[in-house]
Structures are given as C-alpha cells and as structure tokens.
Structure 1
Amino acid sequence: MRRRLINSTLAVVLVVIAVFGVSLVIVETRTISSSAQESVDSEAQRLASIVDSRMVGHEKVSTEILQGQIDVSTRYAVIEIPDRATIRIGTRPEGGVIRGTAQGESGERVTVEESRSSVTREVGKTLLIIGAVALLAIVAATLLAVRQANKLVAPLTDLAETAERLGSGDPRPRHKRYAVPELDRVADVLDSSAERIARMLTAERRLAADASHQLRTPLTALSMRLEEITLTDDLDTVKEEATIALTQVERLTDVVERLLTNSRDPRTGSAVTFDLDEVVKQQLEEWRPAYRSSGRAIVRSGKTSLRAVGTPGAVAQVMAALIENSLMHGGGTVAVRTRVTGNQAVIEVTDEGPGVPSDLGARIFERTISGRNSTGIGLAVARDLAEADGGRLEMLQQKPPVFALFLSRDGKGVRPLQEPAPEPEPTIR
C-alpha cells in the first residue's frame, strides 16, 4: 500500500508538471522571441531617426558616425539612402537571424539583424530554470508522499495487529489514536469490540468457576445417596434415598438455572414469598452427615415460622456456602440462628473457630480471596446471589466469625410462591 500511495502521488505531480511545464515553456519561448523581435525593431527605428535628423540638418552620414550608435558585437545594420552608397555596420551574423526594418522620412531604409542564437540561449536558460523547479517539485512531492504513506500505513498496520490480537484471544484494548478521523473511528470500534470480548470472556470464566464451585457439593451428596442405594436391599430405604436424591437433582437444576441467569444479568432475580424454615431445615439435614463424619455438630436456634422474600434455591445456595465455609475453615459447633430485625429476616451462621484473619476482613467477599487453600469463590458467589434477590450478605463479626444473610419480609410487589414462574429463555441453541 505504501508503494501505491507514493506512486499515485508522484503520478499526479508528474502530470501537473508536464501540463504546466510544457505550457510555461511555450509561453516563455514566445515571450523571449517577441521581446527579441521588438528590440531589433526598436533598434532599426532608432537608427532611422538618427539618419533622418542628420539628413535634415545636412550633416554627414557615414559609417564612422553611425558605428557608435549600435552594438556591433551582436548586431548588424544596413542603411540604404537614396542616391548614396549603402552603409553597413558590424559583421553580418551567420545562420538564423532576427531582422528588423524601419523606413525613414527622407526615404532611407534601415535594416538591423541579430543572431537567433541569443534567443536560443535565453530559451535554454528558461528551460533550465523550469527543469530545476520541476525537479525540486518532484523531490518535495516524493518526500511528502513518503511521509503521508507512512502516516497512513503505520496506523493500518497497528489496526491489523490489534485485530489479529483480538482473533488470537487477547482482548486488551490499545486506546491508541492517529489524528485521522476515519482511522480513529476504526480504532474506536476495535477497542469497543475488545472490551465486549473481554467482558464475555470474563463472564464465561466466572460462570465456569461458579459452576465448578456450586455444583461440587450437591454432586458429592448425590453420589453418596446413590452409593447408599446400591449398597442396600431394603426397598423402603431405596425409596427414601431415591426421594432424597431426586430432591437433590432438583436443587442441582435450580443451581444451574441460577448460574445461567446470573451470567446473563447478575441483578435478575425471581423473588417470591417463601417459608424460610423449610430452607433452613433442608440445609441442616443435608449438611449433618458431613459434620458427623468430621466429628462436629450443626445446630439451629432462634425464631421460627418466618417467611421471607427471595428465591428459595438462591437462599439455599447462600446458606450452603456459609455452612461449607464453616466446615472447611471453622471449628467446633456451627450454629444457625434465625431472627427478625425491623422488616427483615436474618439468618446468622457462626462457629467456634479462630475466625477471619484481620488482613482479610475487608476483602473476604472478593473473588480469589481465601484464608486457606480454597478457590475463594464461594462467598463472592453467595453475595451475588443474595443481592440478585434484593438481600444482602454481611460479615457481622470476625472472631468468632458471624455471617448474616438479610432478606426482606415484605411480600409487596413479588409473586406468591404458588404462582408458576415464567420459563427462562434458552441460552444455548
């Protein structure tokens, strides 16, 4: 492209120089020739006037007298006077000549000749000047064309590299502009695309991490139920365990749908008025086997018969994250307490462990922040789930740790639990 820009610019300049240069040469040649002819005619007229004046005064007209009136080195003059000898001044030029003639009042005829070589020399000088100017114009045009080509090609090369980086999975915007409106527009579009791609990749990685974390515990529990089914021949036990397994499958489905919903819009919730006791009871029953196997206990206290506004599946996931966090990082008995404050229902989870380190207190809900070898995702996902339904998740105390989930008790503006929720739009085609 650089070569094309340079060649096109030089072609335009050469055409302009050719058109105007040839025209200028023709005009200058004619001007020089006309000027030389006028000079010779003027010289002939001047000599004729001199001869007239001397003849009127009856003065002598001779070669010696007239020789000083003309430049004999470049011009040749012939004065023809009636009834007198022809007077010749100077040396007659050879080759082409420019001739000027004048007629005097006394009948004399004056002819002045000048070699055309003087005109040729003047034309040559003019051509040399025009050629030098044309050469300077070509050089200047070449430098300008190279500069403009570099100015245009370099941004295009940068934009091509940016597009290649986007295609290779590096969506970092460059925020580089080139003071060319059209190229800056392309750069704006590429930077906007890079930011969108970065957000999409971040959302995909976040969804994968959240799904891996949120599905791990339910899948483990489901696997344990299925193992118990395979190890027993008691039909009643099989039915009981299968019923529990189906419940866990429904929870897994709810977890997946919730994760997909949050991946589209983390603020999109499907809050309903539900029985908080049922969710708390279900979580305690699900986690007691894990605590027993660890030699620990999980207990409940506080107010019962509470109703709250939210998504039961999301609230269950938030409680699961808090209980699992106490199992992994806490110690002693875990206490789940429900209470009411103002128009909010509160679920508190605490344990007898060492608590949250002071350097992590303000950042405990950030992703990848963990006090031990864990993903650091659980509490961040739990807070997102709580906020999606208009609730909030907070750490009330670091030592011993107390985490609290605040849910609204006002059912105004939400759907009743029995009303079926609309099916979510499919996200995979």
Structure 2
Amino acid sequence: MRRRITLLVAATTSVVLLAFLLPAAALVARAAESRALDRAQAQLQALIPAVGLDEREEVAAGLAVTDGRAVTVRWSDGTWVGPEGVLGDDPAPAGAELRETGDGVHLLQPVRRQGGTAVVEVFVPEAELRADVPRTWLVLGGLGVVLLVLALVVADLLARSLTRPVTDLATTAHRLGSGDLSARVTPAGPDEVREVGVAVNRLAGRIGELLVAEREAAADLAHRLRTPLTALRLDVEALPPADRERLLGDVDALTRGIDEVISEARRPVREGLGAGCDAAAVVGERVRFWSVLVEEERRPLAVRLPAEPVLVRVAPADLGAAVDALLGNVFAHTPDGTGLEVAVRARDGGGAVVTVADDGPGLAPSALERGHSGAGSTGLGLDIARRTAEGSGGAMRVSSSPAGTTVGLELGPPG
C-alpha cells in the first residue's frame, strides 16, 4: 500500500510538472527569440532615415556587426553597402519581410526613395535567437526534479503514517491468531483505522474473558464429579473382593480422566507467547516423579537425556503435562513389567524431539482419536500431548505395532 501511494503521487506530480514545464520551456524559447528580433528591428529602424535621405557615407559609417548581427544595405542601383545579404539580386520585397535560413533569421525592410527602393537587411544568428534558453531550461528541469523529490518525500511520509497503523493492526491480529491473547493495538492513523484498532482490542478482551469463563466452567463441572465419585469409591470398597478390585480399577481410571479434564480446562493457551524451557530438564524431572511407580511395577526403564540444555518453545508446565500424559498412558495401557524408554534429542535447526516408547501390545487405531481409549480412560492424554507439540510449532508422531508403541513429540525452538 505504501509503495502504491508513493507511485500514485509520483505519477500525478510528473503529469502536473510536465503540464507546467513544457509550456514554460516553449514560452522561454519564444521570449528569447522575440527579444532578439526586437533588438534587430530597433537597429534596422535606426538606419531607415539615413537610407531614405541617401546619406551613403553616414549609412556606411553606421554599418557594423553588433552582438553577432550583420547589417547591410542594398541601394536602389543594386550596389551593396556592406556584405551582400540574403536578398541578392532579387527584387525588393513589397513590405517588411522575415526570412529564415539554417544559421539564423534575416530581417528585410524596403525603403522607398527617389530613383528606386533600397533594402535594409539585418541578420540575427541562431545563437542570439536562443540566447540563455538552454540555461533557463536547465533551471526549469532542476526545479522540476526538486519538486518531484519533495513530492515523493511527502508522499512517503504520508503513506507511512497511513500504512504503519494498518501494519501494526495486522501484526496484532497475527499474534491473536497464534494464541497471544495479551496482544493489543495502539490506535493510530485515520479515524477508520483507529476504530478498527479499538474494535480489535475489544474483541481480544472479550475472547480472553470467554476462554477464561469456559475453562473455569469446564473445570468446575469436572470438579463437581469428585463428590459422587468419592461416594462411588466408598460403595465399591464395601463390595465383595471378587468385584471390588475390578470396579476400583474402573473408578481409578475415571478419577484420572477427571484430573485430566480439570488440568486441561485450566491450562492457559500458550502457543505463540514465546514461553520456553529446557526439555531435557523437564523430562528428567517427570521421569524421576514416575520412577516410584516404575519400581513398584518392576518395569525396565531406559532414559536418554542430553548433557546440554535443549531449549524448546513450550512452557515447563505444558511440557510436564504432556510427558505425564504419555507416561500415564504407558502405565494405564500396558501390563506390569513392560519396559519403556524415554529420550530427548536436539532437532536440526533448533527444538527437540521427546520420545516415549514401550514394549506393550500396541494401540488400537481408535486410541489416536480424541475421547477414545481402550482402557476405560477419557482418551485425552494423547490429545494433550499433540496440542502441546503443535502449539510449539511442531507435531506428534505415533508409531504402534504389536511389538510396542513409540510416541514422538517434535517441539519447535523458542521464538
């Protein structure tokens, strides 16, 4: 837009300057020619009385070359006083006449006297006809260039004042679209752009309010389930041992699902906020947290973490929740004693890949869909991990077979 405004002003200014400078240049040329001819005419008129009185000596004394103009007189008997002029032996003209040649202009003035007609001729060279014209044209051209440059400077400043608020508005819209709900526009520019900026700020604030209200409402609804769930656990514990263990497992799966719902509902949107952490440190801390359960279930565990920090664009709490979800899936969907491996490696170009692999029986295809699970849980664990990876600019890769399952989180570098 800025470039288009500048080009438009440049084109308009060029047309206006041409419309002014071309006639001015032509007028300058005509004025210079008119001045030269007026001076020659005055010189010619000064000789007419002497020629009319046939005062040849006085005429001969007055002939000279003045400012490049050659003055000559042909008497009625055909003799010339001075160099022979352009008239030659041709008959005298009936009146004043102007003849143009390649090197200038000849003014012819017949003078009638007794015995015939004499002719006074004044030659004005081309240089005198164009005197000071090139210099004046150069001044006009320089003036045109200066005016054009000034117009372009003013147009660029005006275009910048118009486009900068629009650019800031677009930048803020992109930040809002990437999840940065704290982004706001500083209203500036024309009134219409200011109104749009105010509306975007109001919309961003309203979106943030709605998201907070939605998260809190979802968390509150899930939290309300804890009381009936506690009562259900007490009822199950009162059942005979044959049914109690099976139902307690279902109650525990339901409890984990409710915890995931509450955690996810109260998890703020972090994509695009520039949050970052050391993936190796976070993953190592979560592995240590789960190590007690690993020992209790006698699972072989391999941990591969780099010695150097691996920075990613994910908040520590979000990455910890994603790792917890993946490890929780392993414990929930594989039998005791199943080995697992947790690894972190740096990606080419920045970021990291967090991998959680197990030697279990593999996942059913429906387990990759949000809300589906094959073990009585809510099926939100993989979806939490997927959205964490995508929120950092990466992706989640799942490879599953009867020989085991590998989930890789590709995390983008901090922005």
Question: TM-score band (shorter)?
Answer: 0.3 to 0.5
Decide which structure has the larger Cα Rg and report it.
1
TM-score (norm 2): 0.46
